[in-house]
Amino acid sequence: MTKVIFVHRSVGHNLIADGGLYTLAKDAGIELNDYDHNSYEISDGESIQKLNIVFEGGDTHPEHYAKLFSEGGKKNQKKAHDLILSYDVIVIKSCYPNSHITTDNELDAIKKDYQSIANFFATMPEKKLILLTTPPLMPLRTNKDSSSRARKLTIAP
C-alpha cells in the first residue's frame, strides 16, 4: 500500500474533507494522512493525533519547506523531517496568503525555494514529491500585479 502524507495549513483540510480525498484514497489502495500545521495534528480520516511539530519559521511558507527539506532540516527539524520522509509520497502546500506576491524579487525567491525542495527530493528516487502552489486569492483580496505573479508561479519554466 502506498503511504501518502499531505502537509498543509488550514485550506488543505478543506481540500481533503470537502473533496472526499480520504475515501478516494482508500478506494485506490492508498493510505492518506494529512498533517495540518494549523492545528499541529495528523489524521488518517478516522483518528487524529496531536504532534506539535512546528517548522523552522513557524509556518508553511515555501522558504520554511525549503529549510525543512535540506541538509540542515535533517538536523534542526529531525522530528518533522523523519516523520514526513517515512511516507512514499509527500504532498506539500503553502497557506493561501502566499499567493499575495508583492514583488518580482519575492516571486524569484519562492521559485528558488521550490527548486531547492525539488532538488532535495531528486536525491531520493524512492520518494515522490507533489508540490501544490497556493490557491489564488479572491479578487477583492489581491491586485492585478500580485495575481499576475501568482499565475507566473504556477507555470513551469
CATH number at residue 136: 3.40.50
What's the pTM value of the predicted model, to 2 decimals? 0.90
DSSP state of 17: H
Per-residue pLDDT tens digits for 106-157:
999 999 999 999 999 999 999 999 998 876 788 888 899 998 898 888 876 6
**What sign for the dihedral angle of Cα 139, 144, 148, 149?**
negative
What total number of domains does the chain contain? Answer: 1
By CB atoms closer than 10 A (0-12, 13-18, 19+), residue 132 is middle
More confident call, 125 vs 96 = 125
Cell 517548522, residue located? 55
β-pair partners for 64: none
At residue 76 the predicted structure's pLDDT band, cuts being 50, 70 and 90, is confident
**Grid coordinates of 105:** 524579487
β-pair partners for 90: 5, 129
Q: Residue range 35-59: average pLDDT?
A: 87
Q: Which domain holds residue 144?
A: 2-154
pLDDT at residue number 133? 81
Q: What angle do CA 20, 23, 26 make, to 5 degrees?
A: 145
